[in-house]
Amino acid sequence: QLAGVAVIAFGLWLRFGGVMADFASDKRSPEYFFMGLYVLVGAGALMTTVGFFGCCGAARESQCLLGAFFACLLVIFAAEITAGVFAFIGKKVAIQEAQKIYEDIYDDYMKNPGGKVNRTIYHLHTALQCCGKDGIEQQMGLPCPENIQLPKASCLVEIQKVIDANLHLVGIVGIAIAGITVSKSMFSF
């Protein structure tokens, strides 16, 4: 239950606080990206509910609640495996979508340099430590961080590097969580 509450809190913080709050305030925010955060919050709620079934089933020694706990863990395990497979298969699509988001923000900035997108593009440049599509736009008036070392790869290349590097980390965490789910299933027996 505590892990579920932590996942809910983390998902809400990513969506409404921290760096993502700046992206959410942009009128062209990528809603399908935020849907992933809503799914994270939903998964936390499911984890909390499943934890409740497990705690009550163990405290009352109820076969019905322990069976429901096991069934929920089985569904969660299948969803974890499916999500992991789709994450690795869809890596190229994820890179293309993230690059398209950056290109849209970049084009909006070039049309209206004083608009709200100014802050969004600056946060992206700071997070990725890059500047522009070609990596040489610091002279063109883009809001680039002062501490990046030029010549730096373009942000499109940096997006690809970040997704490539972090997708393996997501896979490792997913495997660890799946292992914990299997161990919980064994304990429920």
Q: What is the pLDDT of residues 19-61, one digit of tens each?
A: 555 555 555 555 555 676 777 788 888 888 888 888 888 888 8
CB burial of 147-177 (b: ≥16 within 10 Å; e: otherwise) equals ebeeebbbbbbbbbebbeeebeeeeeebeeb
Whose structure tokens read 């299948």?
Answer: 78
Mean pLDDT of 109-130: 75
pTM greater than 0.85: no
> Nearest CA to 132 among 93, 165, 158, 94?
158
The structure tokens listed for 65 are 């609640």
Whose structure tokens read 């440049």?
Answer: 125
Whose structure tokens read 């398209």?
Answer: 100
36 φ/ψ angles, rounded to the nearest 5 degrees: -60, -35
* Separation of alpha carbons 16 and 75, rounded Å: 29
Between the alpha carbon of residue 138 and those of residues 120, 133, 149, the distances in Å are: 16, 11, 11
Q: What is the pLDDT of residue 151?
A: 56
